[in-house]
Amino acid sequence: MQNYRHLTIGVLALQGAVSEHCQQIEQLGATAKIVKNPSDLTALDGLVLPGGESTAIGKLMRTVGLLEAIQQFAQQGKGLFGTCAGMILLAKQIEGGEPAHLGVMDICVQRNAFGRQIDSFQTDLAVKGLEKPFPAVFIRAPYISTIENSRVEVLAEFEGNVVLAKQGKVLACSFHPELTNDARIMQYFLEMILS
């Protein structure tokens, strides 16, 4: 396994499974850092945007000045990884006319595409680049409805819908890899940062 000790990965701590993401980052040997305001982005190699409620997270990001700061972070070629609501935050477009938040990935997303909380499920998902299926946990998950740029690479689909994709150093994921004991998606993100 790669040595990730020199990597410092931020986790946006406005909502969602922040500690679970931090645990996976540390488990892989990298350093996890909580991000709550723009100054926390200094000296980070990448940033994870956890799940939660995308509209609420977007408002909080605007309030504390993180929206522009994260857009600049992405423009510097730093890694961004959005899970569930994080995927919605990354998208250039959101179905239903909700204004985009960060708009750093050439995708359109459908919110709550798999139903409500009660419709949550787990499935073994074939992921490009992983030898064995990944135990994907879907909770009020979005999916990518449209890809607007050939630079977006599809990494996994569920029932014909794109649920994991990357564009440059940006990774968007419908499901919650941090809620499993499997750190391979987080490891994939760390490898993207190093590539």
pLDDT digits (tens, 9 = 90+) for 10-33: 999 998 789 999 999 999 999 999
Name the residue range of residue 14's domain: 8-194
Query: Do residues 16 and 51 touch, judged by C-beta distance below 8 A?
Result: yes
Does residue 114 form part of some domain?
A: yes
**The CATH number of the domain where 146 resides is what?**
3.40.50.880
pLDDT band for position 1 (cuts 50, 70, 90):
low
Tokens standing for residue 66:
């993180």
Catalytic (active site) residue 84: yes
Does residue 3 form part of some domain?
A: no
Domains: count for the chain: 1
pLDDT, residue 32, reads 98
Q: Answer with the residue of higher pLDDT: 111 or 179.
A: 179
Does residue 2 form part of some domain?
A: no
**Annotated catalytic residue within 21, 84, 101, 173:** 84
Does residue 57 form part of some domain?
A: yes
Catalytic (active site) residue 101: no
Position 179, amino acid: L
The model scores a pTM over 0.85: yes
Does residue 158 form part of some domain?
A: yes
